[in-house]
Amino acid sequence: MEIIDNKVLLLNLRNPNKVTTVIPKSKQIGQNKVAVSWGLDEAQVLKNLQIKNIPSPIMGKYHWPGMYKPFDHQKTTASFLTLNRRAFCLNEQGTGKTGSVIWAADYLMSIGKIRRVLVICPLSIMDSAWRADLFKFAMHRTVDIAYGSREKRNQIIASDAEFVIINYDGVDIVQEAISNGKFDLIVVDEANAYKNAQTTRWKTLNRILKPDTWLWMLTGTPAAQSPVDAYGLAKLVNPLGVPKFYTAFKDSVMYKITQFKWVARPDADKVVFSALQPAIRFTKDECLDLPEMTYVTREVELTPQQRKYYDLLRKKLVLQTAGEQITAVNAAVGLSKLLQISCGAVYSDSGETLEFDIKNRYKVLREAIDETQQKILIFVPFKHTIELLSEKLQADGFSTAIISGDVPATKRAEIFKSFQETPNPRVLIIQPQAAAHGVTLTAADTVVWWGPTPSLETYAQANARAHRAGQRHPVTVIRLQGSNAEKHLYKMLDNRIEDHVKLVDLYKNLLD
């Protein structure tokens, strides 16, 4: 195959007449050469004829708008998506899936193949990932987030926004409006949320899909927990690739060894691979053009309990500082209290610990853990929150270990060695000050900040535990934020402003 220019492909074929009879805009040149008009329709026909390596015309006719140039693997991913009405993008976390999808969708819009896109994703990344990336890669497109009351969601869906972003559970609330919303393309991010075909969530999505709707499902960890997880995903994208009934699929990938225990069959991975087609996958190791470290921010809505006490404490601090000069000391104390509530446990004046409902933040943490197949570091600024989090993760079946100021040096060395050299623990929960220097933890490729630290040095050094000599994978740093205190503190860290320089100003802004 040759690209003669941005309009024509030159194919070497054994049976060129097969192509010329199917594609109107083709012309035989010589015995085994056919010139084919390079449009999306022609490219899709050639792909369906199983001619290999047919590129989408996006590779030649698209200007790739936005603030950044696409990496090679992003171009390849976008090309694949534009050629497949329903498909999986299984690229690993940190490889820029959202950028690939946005460019592919924008190209389809530009040639009139689609008009509107519905993005279904976790609540935590609606704004920080999808809206932010749409501004970076397709700022000429209109975008809105369908969140809030039913009436507000309906208004946004009925608007003329070209991209509408909604969370999983919001789809069920306004499914009728979505069905009437003229969405030609539905993108599902973190698609494992639809692995169970018996859930209301799955059935709602299946109802709103029309035969001609484009559907792209994104996940870096397909069927990571069990081969049977592929069934619900495949039923949406490739229904003919799996049996009609779940039990038949389960029997094809699992076998029963006791009344309550099933194990994967030896060829389960091949069955899953066949079911999850068509698909494209790039691992971070394959993407040699990726930056060595990627930063991701995820929004976490404070629970009503957290919001109530956060607002009460903020008002109390306003009263305490009225007419008084704010010093670095009392600014640090007040900010710490606000951060403690955001993270899930606050220390009272009498030394007691008050625990808060952290279900929203924990849900987002679980999403981050499920997205990587490697080990993970979780930095938690406050000691009691570490214990609370460890208990929840262990209850969910994760092997965890804790590093805090209370853990003796000899015990820390044993934990670090096990983390680096053995399968367990998979999750290491760390108080940042206790492991910010001199420790190598390259068994992890993902770092999660449960909440921010006010120290730039501690923040940078903690991230460097995974990002140092011996690391074989690009590292992804995920920051969880739900309160204004956290957002402002992360902004300070991003701007590399030392805490002692701007802490007082930050505190004043939070109280205003």
Confidence of residue 419 (pLDDT cuts 50, 70, 90): very high
Q: Alpha helices, DSSP H only, in 301-375?
A: 304-321, 328-343, 359-370
Quote the pLDDT of residue 140.
Answer: 96
- Decide: 412 and 387 in contact? Cβ < 8 Å: no
Question: Distance between CA atoms of 105 and 24, rounded to whole angstroms?
Answer: 26
Quote the pLDDT of residue 408.
Answer: 85
Write out pLDDT tens, residues 132-177. Answer: 899 999 999 999 999 999 999 999 999 999 999 999 999 999 999 9
Write out pLDDT tens, residues 369-410. Answer: 988 888 999 999 988 889 889 999 999 999 999 998 888 878
**Long-range CB contacts (within 8 A, 24+) of 286-293:** 286/73, 287/71, 287/73, 287/95, 287/474, 289/71, 289/72, 289/73, 290/71, 290/94, 290/95, 290/96, 290/474, 291/474, 292/467, 292/474, 292/475, 293/463, 293/467, 293/474, 293/475, 293/476, 293/477
**Higher pLDDT, residue 33 or 364:** 364
Torsion of CA 89, 92, 94, 97, to 10 degrees: 0
Lookup: tokens for 211:
């035969």
Confidence of residue 245 (pLDDT cuts 50, 70, 90): very high
- Decide: 298 and 129 in contact? Cβ < 8 Å: yes
Mean pLDDT value across residues 275-290 = 82
Residue 345: beta bridge partners?
355
Write out pLDDT tens, residues 172-199. Answer: 999 999 999 999 999 999 898 999 999 9
Mean pLDDT value across residues 276-296 = 81
Question: Distance between CA atoms of 343 and 483, rounded to whole angstroms?
Answer: 10
Quote the pLDDT of residue 160.
Answer: 94
- Decide: 448 and 379 in contact? Cβ < 8 Å: yes
Domains contained in the chain, CATH given = 2-48 (no CATH), 70-280 (3.40.50.10810), 293-300+355-511 (3.40.50.300)
Residue 89: beta bridge partners?
218, 280
Residue 163: beta bridge partners?
117, 143
- Amino acid identity for residue 45 in this structure: V
Question: What pTM, to 2 d.p., does this model score?
Answer: 0.73
Write out pLDDT tens, residues 313-371. Answer: 888 888 777 767 777 677 888 888 899 999 988 876 666 778 888 899 999 999 899 88
Question: Distance between CA atoms of 91 and 142, rounded to whole angstroms?
Answer: 26
Question: Distance between CA atoms of 295 and 168, rounded to whole angstroms?
Answer: 24
- Decide: 495 and 459 in contact? Cβ < 8 Å: no
**Higher pLDDT, residue 225 or 462:** 462
Lookup: tokens for 59:
């590779």
Mean pLDDT value across residues 265-292 = 85
Quote the pLDDT of residue 163.
Answer: 98
Quote the pLDDT of residue 49.
Answer: 74
CB-based contacts of 76: which residues, under 8 Å, 6+ apart?
280, 282
Q: What is the mean pLDDT of the chain?
A: 87
Residue 11 Cα distances to 52, 54, 266, angstroms: 11, 10, 40
Quote the pLDDT of residue 241.
Answer: 93
Phi, psi angles (nearest 5°) of residue 489: -70, -40
CB-based contacts of 415: which residues, under 8 Å, 6+ apart?
401, 403, 407, 425, 428
